[in-house]
Amino acid sequence: MEKTGSPNKVIGIMGPMADLLVLSRSSTKGGTLARLFLSASLLKSSRPVLILPQKEKRTVGQHICIAWNQSVEAAQAVAAAIPLLMQADHVSIVTCGPESKAGPKSGQLATYLRYWGIQSEHISTQGRDAPKEIVATYKSTESDLLLMGAYSRNRMSQLVFGGVTEYMLKRTSIPVLMLHT
């Protein structure tokens, strides 16, 4: 089925009926339409969005790093990715700083994963620069997919002040599976 129209309109119609939206990162030059489709996919579909780098990766999903911030978005991203997590060879949970917010702690996430037969390791960072610490953990665990919630903070404040979602979308080239509800 072919649809035409603005990214918001097309994704608003087609996105909610998809199990997974797969997009390629836009190139550094141009890419305005690709960025509009990416934004619409995250904000209009309520479905998991897999964002792949321009360069081909041999494997994605054998070593998964979960960026855990105790948010509903992160919890729903994990729940949506259970089939992938069950197939992974290694799962890491990274938290940045103290887990002082209301919401499930990383230990509760590890228990939830164990119910599904998924073993995981927890890595806690200092929390001084969450986006960079997440990427550093992703690399140190030799992960090939980052799993996270998207825009768990207000999107406008992320655009103005920055945030993990914007950082991962604009400043990294790693495969990321995100979900915003």
Mean pLDDT of 2-24: 81
The CATH topology of domain 7-179 is Rossmann fold (3.40.50)
What is the amino acid identity at position 46?
S
Say which residue, 155 or 22, is predicted with more confidence: 22
Say which residue, 146 or 3, is predicted with more confidence: 146
Q: What is the pLDDT of residues 31-58, one digit of tens each?
A: 777 788 888 788 888 899 899 988 877 8
* Whether pLDDT at 4 is above 80: no
Q: How far apart are CA 67 and CA 130, in angstroms?
A: 9
Say which residue, 4 or 101, is predicted with more confidence: 101
Q: What is the pLDDT of residues 66-85, one digit of tens each?
A: 999 999 999 999 999 999 99
The pair of structure tokens assigned to 32 is 């305005």
Q: What is the pLDDT of residues 111-168, one digit of tens each?
A: 999 999 999 999 999 999 999 999 999 999 999 999 999 987 655 554 544 588 888 9
The structural domains of the chain, with segments of one domain joined by +, span 7-179
Q: How far is CA 4 from CA 1, 7, 13, 42, 131, in A?
A: 10, 9, 11, 19, 35
End-to-end CA distance of the chain: 25
**Sheet with 49-52, side-by-side order of all strands:** 21-24, 49-52, 176-179, 145-149, 63-67, 90-96, 121-125
Burial of 30 (0-12, 13-18, 19+ CB in 10 A): exposed
